[in-house]
Each structure stands twice: as C-alpha cells, then as structure tokens.
Amino acid sequence: MSAAVKYKAIVADKYYISESEKYLLVHLELVNPSRIKFLAGQYVSIGVSEAGDRRSYSIANTPDITHAITLVAEMIPGGLGSEYLKNIQIGHEIEMLGPMGRFVIQMNERVNEQTNNLLFVATGSGIVPIKSMIEDLLIVQKDQRQIRLHWGMRREEDLFWTDNFERLAEEYPNFVFDQVLSRPSESWSLCTGHVQDCLSRDFAEGMAGWEAYVCGSIEAVSSIEDKLVELKIPRDKIYTEKFV
C-alpha cells in the first residue's frame, strides 16, 4: 500500500444522519491534491486542534469516487474530534493524512471462483468502512460471492443507511442484510440482542467456507471474533478493525 499523503480539503456539506443526532456525516471536497486513491475500508487522519491532535475516520464512499471523501463520526460528548466536526463550518478548509489502514478485502482470495463467501459484522459506527467495502464489491466489482451483513446498534433512533442496504439487498440477490438492536422498542420485529446472538441463530450449521470482516469497539470485536471461531471460521480468515 502506498504511503499516506497530506491533503487539504473543503467541508462541502455536513448533517446528522440518525434521528438521535448521534452520527454526523461530513462530506469533504479535495483541494490539494485534488484526487485520492484508496482501498475500500481505509481511513484518513484529520487534524482536530491547533495543538496537533488528530483523530481517524473511515472513508464511507467507494474508491471510484476520487475527488471527494465522505466520513461519518459518532458524536461523543466532549470528545475532541466530535466537538471539532460538530463546530466546523461548511466552506472551512481542513488538513488530513491518508489513506491509511489494512482493513481491506483480501485480494488474493478473489483469483479462484471457489473462494470464500463474505460475512461482514459491524457494531455502531463500525459500519462506515464496511459500507465502502460492500458497495465496492457489489456495485463496482460485480462480485458474485454470497455477501452477508450483520449490523448491531442499540435503538431505532440510532439507525441510518438502513434504506441503502435494503435497496442493495433487493438489487443484488447475493447480498443479505440483517439489522440487530440490543435495546429496541416493543414494535421491533427483527433480531434482538447482540450481533453474536443473531449469528448463532442464523448460522446454526456453522460457517465453513466463509471469511469475515468485523469492525466495532474493542470489546465487541473480540467477542464477535470468538463467536465466529466457534462457528467454524478459521481465525486467520477473520479480519478486524477495532475502534477506540
């Protein structure tokens, strides 16, 4: 992978994408350099203070878009990055480094038609790099393997992008989307609990022939990884990104 490059970008748009205002989308138009080359799943590092503090955010769009990037940040009260992005004005110029990270689709697995099916598991904002990966696979790469997404959140008001994934599931028969809530309302009819509980339900026969990409908090990723090993995915076929 190529070395990270220093970019200048303009904040072109920003808005909350969840009813709870827990997740903020920020769209950045690149200025200098004006193009970026990255792999789905990678991230950028943004300067968030005059003291030189930095925060990392995964890229939500697909790599075929080269003139801009979209980020989604979880708003942590008092968090340095959260406060910076919440207060930044449209039109403001920011500095960032990127692309970075090795949480990407393992390309060597795609040279043979008999390669593994792909399971993606996310909790919270861990969905951001996974969205880029899934859309790149389905829309850009036209990947024909079975692709399944399990995404865990807490409450309905935290949800976003649900319509996007449901449309993908309608358009691409090889893609299945499962939304999981740990603290749903009484009207919630889909899977309830932790993501790993629903994996046990949906893959009771095991997951031999699959590889997995897991992104979320340190605790969640570790627990999900253990569950996937229990479901017969080899540990060396589980690729993870842990958010702090």
Examine the fold and report which residue of 44, 74, 100 is the final residue of a domain before the chain moves on.
100
120: which residues sit within 8 A by CB, 6+ positions away?
A: 130, 133, 134, 147, 148, 149, 150, 212, 213, 214
Which amino acid makes up residue 55? R
Are both 77 and 121 inside the same structural domain?
no
- Show the tokens assigned to 73: 């940040």
Tens of pLDDT along the chain (244 residues)? 668 899 999 999 999 999 999 999 999 999 999 999 999 999 999 999 989 999 999 999 999 999 999 999 999 999 999 999 999 999 999 999 999 999 999 875 444 444 689 999 999 999 999 999 999 999 999 999 999 999 999 999 999 999 999 999 999 999 999 999 999 898 888 888 899 888 988 898 889 899 999 999 999 999 999 999 999 999 999 999 998 7
- Show the tokens assigned to 44: 């950028």
Q: What is the pTM for the complete model shown? A: 0.94
pLDDT of residue 191: 87
Report the distance separating Cα 23 and Cα 157, nearest Å. 11
- 117 has which bridge partners? 210
pLDDT of residue 229: 95
Place of tokens 């979209």: 70
Total structural domains within the chain: 2
Are both 84 and 27 inside the same structural domain?
yes
- Show the tokens assigned to 227: 């569950």
> Domain range for residue 153?
107-243
Q: Are 240 and 214 in contact (CB under 8 A)?
A: yes
CATH number of the domain that residue 26 is part of: 2.40.30.10
Q: In 3-state terms, what secondary structure has residue 191?
A: strand
